[in-house]
């Protein structure tokens, strides 16, 4: 650890201790930086996007610029696990399905081809054969099977990164809400909290999830188009005698279904006898005034569960639901950039992960640490993630296929 600092002076201050901030703090501390990780609520709280029992990891994306981040993250998940001595990543295959003319699914296939990801395209009959009748797709659908799937245990993963950051000398403080970040001459950046505490850092990384828009606006006046959504994660009861068939480790995949709505899920793992199947979407919310439900369960989701699993899963209603927050950008791509303006390269932001960033958090932590320390990220193209893309086009990056995230309309 670098010496010659007071207790409130750091090389880098990371604001926001969800998975992205915790992964970044781990990367910084491991490189010998005097690192402070701040969290506005309790560590491992349930008010944001980093809690819960499962997230999927997959290499199959319609956009080809995510593969490098996922590929690096697979390696870094394994590395962090080996350093801590327990597992947060559980292997599974990934299975994508949808109408044979769905542009986003066809883009998944071309991304696999382009990046040399081994995959198989299966028709209705081959899917039934491949999964021994556990998944049934319509005759005009196709399936794409890929070995690179899996489940990450989110709360456990955040805890792992925090423990590794601490082990490498980072200072961790929770219930500290940052209210301002200012330039302070030779002392670098002055970070002030609502309780009156003040910290100084040479650099600052901001990873505050659903609070990104509010904090960035307060710090520099820029209005980032990051909109929090409250999403409802549903677990469904597997009917008696079929529980083992849908459990992880029995060749049952993590999965995604393209079309409207886009549906995703995981094998049975965290709650025995229940399988997670949910709509990738939600309702716009204020992160400080959440409705906390009731998450509606669209009939289209119930029909999907009934039809795809051939009646082996009770589709009448979810056995349980959990809430989570997505921080959406208009194009569903991330925001990873310098804040710029008076801050130049001293403040780095990572946000707008749009409900699909968790799997890539090890690589994103590495990238945010690189940006803070050397002013560039090695071996990765970040142009899709710049803030300036929204000035050029309010919708952000142009895509040739439909949005994946459903913006649900509240009937409350």
Query: Two tokens at 263?
Result: 């549906």
Q: What share of the chain has pLDDT > 70, as a percent?
A: 96
Instruction: Confirm if 100 and 50 have CB atoms less than 8 A apart.
Output: no
The pLDDT of 343-354, averaged and rounded, is: 98
- State the pLDDT confidence band at 412, using cuts at 50, 70 and 90: very low
pTM strictly above 0.85: yes
pLDDT of residue 1: 43
- State the pLDDT confidence band at 3, using cuts at 50, 70 and 90: very low
pLDDT of residue 409: 61
- List the one residue out of 351, 316, 359 whose CA is nearest residue 333: 351
Residue 384 pLDDT greater than 50, yes or no:
yes
Residue 271 pLDDT greater than 80, yes or no:
yes
Instruction: Confirm if 203 and 348 have CB atoms less than 8 A apart.
Output: yes
Q: What are the tens digits of pLDDT across the range 75-116?
A: 999 999 999 999 999 999 999 999 999 999 999 999 999 999
Among 32-36, 205-209, 367-371, 391-395, where is mean pLDDT lowest?
391-395
Alpha carbon distances (Å) from 346 to 115, 360, 373: 34, 23, 9
Residue 400 pLDDT greater than 90, yes or no:
no
Task: Determine whether 337 is exposed, middle or buried from the number of CB atoms within 10 Å of its CB (0-12, 13-18, 19+).
Answer: buried
Q: How far apart are CA 209 and CA 25, in angstroms?
A: 16
Instruction: Confirm if 59 and 148 have CB atoms less than 8 A apart.
Output: yes
pLDDT of residue 172: 98
pLDDT of residue 398: 92
Residue 349 pLDDT greater than 60, yes or no:
yes
Residue 344 pLDDT greater than 90, yes or no:
yes
- The CA-to-CA distance between both ends of the chain, in Å, stands at 53
Residue 27 pLDDT greater than 90, yes or no:
yes
Residue 411 pLDDT greater than 50, yes or no:
no
Q: How far apart are CA 299 and CA 305, in angstroms?
A: 10
Instruction: Confirm if 122 and 142 have CB atoms less than 8 A apart.
Output: yes
């Amino acid at each position: 650890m670098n010496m010659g600092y007071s207790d409130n002076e750091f090389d880098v201050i990371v604001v926001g201790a969800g998975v992205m901030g915790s992964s970044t703090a781990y990367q910084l501390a491991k490189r010998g930086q005097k690192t402070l990780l701040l969290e506005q609520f309790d560590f491992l709280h349930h008010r944001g996007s980093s809690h819960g029992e499962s997230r999927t990891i997959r290499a199959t994306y319609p956009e080809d610029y995510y593969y490098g981040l996922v590929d690096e993250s697979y390696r870094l998940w394994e590395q962090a696990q080996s350093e801590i001595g327990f597992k947060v990543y559980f292997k599974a295959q990934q299975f994508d399905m949808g109408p044979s003319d769905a542009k986003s699914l066809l883009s998944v296939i071309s991304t696999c081809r382009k990046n040399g990801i081994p995959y198989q395209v299966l028709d209705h009959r081959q899917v039934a054969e491949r999964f021994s009748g556990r998944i049934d797709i319509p005759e005009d659908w196709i399936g794409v099977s890929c070995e690179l799937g899996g489940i990450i245990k989110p709360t456990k993963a955040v805890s792992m990164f925090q423990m590794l950051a601490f082990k490498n000398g980072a200072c961790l403080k929770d219930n500290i809400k940052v209210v301002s970040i200012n330039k302070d001459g030779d002392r670098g950046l002055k970070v002030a909290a609502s309780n009156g505490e003040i910290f100084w850092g040479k650099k600052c990384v901001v990873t505050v999830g659903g609070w990104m828009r509010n904090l960035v606006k307060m710090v520099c006046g820029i209005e980032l188009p990051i909109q929090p959504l409250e999403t409802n994660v549903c677990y469904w009861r597997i009917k008696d005698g079929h529980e083992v068939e849908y459990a992880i480790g029995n060749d049952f995949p993590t999965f995604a279904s393209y079309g409207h709505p886009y549906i995703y899920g995981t094998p049975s793992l965290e709650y025995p006898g229940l399988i997670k199947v949910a709509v990738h979407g939600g309702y716009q919310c204020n992160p400080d005034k959440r409705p906390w439900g009731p998450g509606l369960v669209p009939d289209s989701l119930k029909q999907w569960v009934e039809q795809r699993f051939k009646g082996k899963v009770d589709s009448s209603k979810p056995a349980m639901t959990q809430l989570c927050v997505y921080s959406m950008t208009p194009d569903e791509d991330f925001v990873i950039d310098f804040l710029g303006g008076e801050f130049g390269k001293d403040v780095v932001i990572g946000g707008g992960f749009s409900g699909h960033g968790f799997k890539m958090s090890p690589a994103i932590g590495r990238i945010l640490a690189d940006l803070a320390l050397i002013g560039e990220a090695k071996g990765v193209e970040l142009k899709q993630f710049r803030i300036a893309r929204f000035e050029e086009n309010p919708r952000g990056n142009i895509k040739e296929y439909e949005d994946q995230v459903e913006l649900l309309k509240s009937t409350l």
